[in-house]
A = this chain, B = another copy of it.
Amino acid sequence: MVKRYLELRALEESITLIKGMFPAPGLTEKVPVVKSVGRVVAVPVYAKYSVPEVNIAAMDGIAVRSRDTISASDRNPVTLVQFTRVNTGNIVPPEYDAVIMIEDVWEAGERFQIRKSAVPWQHVRPAGEDIKENKLILPRGHLIRPFDIGALVTYGITTIDVLSVNIGIIPTGSELVPLGVRPGPGQVVESNTVMAQVFLSEMGANCTRYSIVPDEPDEIRKTLMKAVEENDLVLISAGSSAGTRDFTESVIRSLGDLVFHGVAVKPGKPVMLGKIEGIPVLGLPGYPLAAQTVLREFAAPLLESWGFPAVPHYTVRVRLAHPLTSDLGFDEFVPIFVGRIGSTLFGTPHGKGAFAQMATVKANGYTHIPAPVEGYEAGTELDVVLTTDPGSIERTVILTGSLDPALEELASLAHDTGLFIHATNPGNLSGIRALCTNSCHAAPLVLPAQSFLPTYQPLMQCKDAEDLAFVHIASVEIGIASIDGLGLHDLLQARFINTRKETPSRTVLDAVFAAEGIDPALLNGYTQEVHGPPAVAAAIRNGFADAGICTSSIAKSNGLRFVPLAHEDYELAFRMKMINDSRIRTLISLIQSPQFSAILKKSGGHDTSITGSIRRLDSTRTLSPFSPGSIPVGYP
């Protein structure tokens, strides 16, 4: 029997509910001032003493009693009997209330003569000028910053009472192994509570992570009860979906009240809120991105309502590089990578679904799509909350197109120079589109040999196509993979497995068929498409098909035989105007470095004979060298 969510509340309503139900626990702790950065002042901090504590001379001169100077004038110089020499910063003794600058004083033996009266406090930094004893330094609620420490120390503060809260975090799941243990088949490392601990500790919480509890209701109940007794807030990870082994809801019900289970938010829909002995119990979904949403959108606002510092929300306005769909009725949070091309910030949505955990790692922000919105067109302007320093955006180059292991090697070299590479793999056509619309810095493209032209068509149609240039990264052989070493004309007698339309290998295949006069309709399996060369090789290896089109290196690594048909050029396409961007220049010089060719040769599968040559599209739609001399261009 599949359980259903009891109710699906709106996100805003559920956050309001959680913030309204649980008053601040009001826990404080005393920390040394040097450990107080990032914490929130719980008890107002007052100066221990005045600074300066006594009057201080603000000029070099003599300290005097102002009343002794009243009658002094040019016509009536006064010779002072009582005075003392002071330099800037010296104490002005208590019997004096003014300082006369040394320039305004005439020596008269061991005494001084003045010709102008001194107003009380003239050139004196009075006691308490910086701060007076018992005056407020930091109010309750102030988030302590590094430069606040100077003032605190100066004014005599050694410890501070800061807000504190105890949070218990319980991982549940029989498939979990703890950090440091290598998971066996079907096991996963318990990571969500580690992430929760780190995230909440950064906000100033004391977190206790309990041991992993298997999917046993009694075990869960026992640990949850203990956690509720020991903490101000309890997070229980997973077991909150609607599966048969999800016991969190029933355990909460058995110990206290279930406030809600299920909120119209994605990811994070199975989020759960309970109340046990007055303590909030928040159920984290098991999917990492769902857990992140619940930490950020539920746990953090609750802590904020208790006075903890908000996770900083620095928002930038970006132009969406690709369309972004969203489920109507759900508040949705999508990882976004923000990059700058020229003066425009572009936002690239990052994978929902697969690669989810890496999506957050590769993104540097996220956007919130409100429930009534079904999605956005490419080009829409929207707000993105950054998760990195905006400065890192300027050090990142955005590559959109077809990824190849060669690009990973290049990225690795780039990272060593301090240049970040943000590469996405939507394929050749999307890469060309991004290049044409200036929403990437450069497009890594797999271009088939020049006699097979279709891939060049969209490039030629690109606005300002004459401005496009191509740095050769490597050459890749493409051909027929099979167990038996089948050739082109053997395919009519074999079970074939195809790749998707518009992939470079498919383009080559169709062009070869056309050139050779082979009707693809006659091929058994021509309409059966898998994702790309790795899936083709796997299908052949598994006996599902006899042959398919593949790269030489992938065929070989799968133990298949390989008959070459053509070669592909792996090129980094960019706009010539980008050559002024230091990031692009760095990238090109890295491609042209002997180090890069050496790495490619070592890893195998790539021909590097013209790596680094720069070419342009000519009127015959072929790549021609345009910067002869700089790189030997001995292309066959």
Contact A416 B140 (CB under 8 A): yes
How far does the Cβ of A345 sit from chain B's closest Cβ, in whole Å? 14
Residues of B within 8 A of A389 (CB): 143, 309-310, 312-313
Task: Assess whether A91 is interfacial by the CB under 8 Å rule.
Answer: yes
Bound CA span A530–B66, Å: 13
Bound CA span A153–B179, Å: 6
Residues of B within 8 A of A194 (CB): 33-34, 149-150, 153
Interface residue count on the A side (C-beta < 8 Å): 102
Residues of B within 8 A of A141 (CB): 415, 418, 420
Task: Assess whether A391 is interfacial by the CB under 8 Å rule.
Answer: yes
Task: Assess whether A65 is interfacial by the CB under 8 Å rule.
Answer: yes
Q: Which of A93-118 contact B (CB under 8 A)?
A: 97
Residues of B within 8 A of A151 (CB): 191, 288, 357-358, 360-361
Q: Which residue of B lies closest to A186 (CB)?
A: B91
Contact A538 B97 (CB under 8 A): yes
Spot the interface stretch: A7-15, A49-57, A464-472, A577-585. A49-57
Q: Which of A132-150 contact B (CB under 8 A)?
A: 136-143, 145-150
Spot the interface stretch: A196-204, A212-220, A221-229, A474-482. A196-204
Contact B544 A70 (CB under 8 A): yes
Q: Which residue of B lies closest to A305 (CB)?
A: B418
Bound CA span A551–B147, Å: 36
Bound CA span A495–B33, Å: 49
- Chain A 501-512: CB-based contact to B (< 8 A → 1; otherwise 0): 000000000000
Q: 17 interchain pairs (CB within 8 A)?
A: A33-B179, A34-B194, A54-B185, A91-B185, A97-B544, A121-B531, A130-B354, A139-B421, A143-B389, A146-B199, A147-B199, A147-B360, A147-B387, A148-B361, A150-B360, A158-B179, A313-B390
What residues of chain A have their CB less than 8 Å away from a CB belonging to chain B? 33-34, 37, 44, 48-49, 51, 53-54, 56, 65-67, 70, 90-91, 97, 119-121, 125, 129-131, 136-143, 145-154, 156, 158, 179-180, 182-183, 185-186, 188-192, 194-195, 197-199, 202, 288, 291-292, 307, 309-310, 312-314, 354-358, 360-361, 387-392, 408, 411-412, 415-416, 418, 420-421, 495, 497, 528, 530-531, 535, 538-539, 542-544
- List the 6 closest A-B pairs by CB distance, nearest first: A153-B191, A150-B195, A139-B415, A146-B199, A67-B543, A120-B539
